[in-house]
Structure 1
Amino acid sequence: MFITDAIMNGMPPHIAQLVVGHRDINTTMGYKAVYPEEVINGHRAFITRRRGTRPSEEYRTPTDQEWEEFLGHFERRHVALGDCGRAYGTGCVHEDSCLRCSLLRPDPGQRQRIVDIRNNLLARIAEAERENWLGEVEGLKVSLAGAEQKLAQLDQLARLAATVNLGTPTFRDVAGRTISVDPNKIIN
């Protein structure tokens, strides 16, 4: 009932899916035969109600300069090892130390580069320990932990990409046969 009520009152189906924890939007939509027109009308009504409670200046058309700044933010988010996930209008709070940053979404094509960086960090840590540069060891270990975390992220992405959706079998698939009826043998 919650899903039906939420969707009929304007909650976008993908948000309802997240709220109830379904992996597949079709599972969420299966709780009620929600027709596309109902969803669209419900969402439009929700947006209208929401806009009525918000300041009107939030809904103005951006200037060309504002639009260029907005687009420029996304162009600057692409970095050597992947994409920075920082929010629009925010600068890098990690001083462009992307490997250490939890906001970096590593590019799978850069995996070998991250492995090379990790190996270099291991060699630098060994040198710093040999030379008794304890302050440097500490900082290098933070970077090493970041490299290991990014490699683990890439491994997780690779596992997810290799996952095969087997779907839910139908009765016909499970039974392995179909039932055929001989019209001459039907008893009334």
Structure 2
Amino acid sequence: MPHLFQCPSQHRLQVISPNRIREFLTDHALRARIVDVDGSPLRFTPHDFRRIFSTETVNGGLPIYIAAKLLGHLDLNTTQAYVAVYPEEVIRHYRQFVDQRRTHRPSEEYREPSDTEWQDFRDHFSLRKVALGTCDRPYGTPFQHENACVRCPMLRLDLAQEPRLLEIEINTRQRLGEAQRMQWLGEIAGLQESLRHIADKKQQAERLRAQAGHDEAGVGALG
């Protein structure tokens, strides 16, 4: 089938419908929490990416008449309306502004990193591996929750470590039962908060498992 976007359905490949593409885009935008200036969720359509493609290609140097051919436009004015053309004057002033700002920044920021700094940078990523998975915190930031990774939103769970997560849940519930019997109110609140985060991690595991199954099904169908 001469189509770019296909998906397996009933043991055969079928074209993904425009409505299904819109659902994918809406779902991913919601998951990524992409919002407008007023805080409302942004919604994308396949046509938005057609405009992005035309803008990127033309501003990257592709002649606009070739872009018009790729887009199937008979009139160059139609393509021109698609493309967000940035005037060279605007770009020139922006570069001047950046260069001027750099003159006021410490020159130390623009030097080549030393071997020690480069090694520290590499070591940072090797230290992201934790018992339950991988810590996705930004570079140069410390552990915010020390050893309580189950509470951290930056933890990306490793599905192979899901049994360990369930063990932590059982242990936490046992501790919660003891705290409730002893009326340790502060301990109860903390353990209940941990259980809430554990539930979030279990939902994350379900999403990762579903995504892995979908990817395997797609590869198998294409094979």
**Bin of the TM-score, shorter chain as denominator length:** 0.5 to 0.7
Q: Distance in 2 between matches of 1:27 and 1:163?
A: 26
1:58 is aligned, of 93, 105, 109, to 109
Question: Any idea what SS the aligned residue of 2:203 has?
Answer: helix
Question: Any idea what SS the aligned residue of 1:38 has?
Answer: coil
Distance 1:59 1:33, change over 3 A: closer
Question: Any idea what SS the aligned residue of 2:145 has?
Answer: coil
Shift in Å, 1:96: 2.5
Q: Which runs of 4+ in 1 moved over 6 A?
A: 18-21, 23-26
Distance 1:23 1:158, change over 3 A: farther
Which consecutive unaligned segments of at least 5 residues does structure 1 have?
A: 1-17, 167-188
Distance 1:97 1:28, change over 3 A: farther
Instruction: Tell me which structure has the larger Cα radius of gyration.
Output: 1
Q: Distance in 2 between matches of 1:90 and 1:33?
A: 34
Q: Normalized against structure 2, the TM-score is what?
A: 0.52
Residues 1:160 and 2:211 are matched in the alignment: yes
Question: Any idea what SS the aligned residue of 1:105 has?
Answer: strand
Distance 1:33 1:94, change over 3 A: closer
1:38 is aligned, of 58, 61, 64, to 61
Moved more, 22-31 or 49-58: 22-31
**Contact 1:22/1:28 (8 A) holds in 2:** no
- Root mean square deviation of aligned Cα: 3.6
Q: Distance in 2 between matches of 1:27 and 1:113?
A: 45
Q: Distance in 1 between matches of 2:109 and 2:189?
A: 46
Shift in Å, 1:113: 1.0
**Contact 1:108/1:154 (8 A) holds in 2:** yes
Which consecutive unaligned segments of at least 5 residues does structure 2 have?
A: 1-33, 37-41, 63-85, 219-223
Q: Normalized against structure 1, the TM-score is what?
A: 0.60
Shift in Å, 1:28: 5.9
Corresponding pairs, count: 144
Q: Distance in 1 between matches of 2:160 and 2:174?
A: 24
Distance 1:26 1:162, change over 3 A: farther
Structure 1 counterpart of 2:144: 93
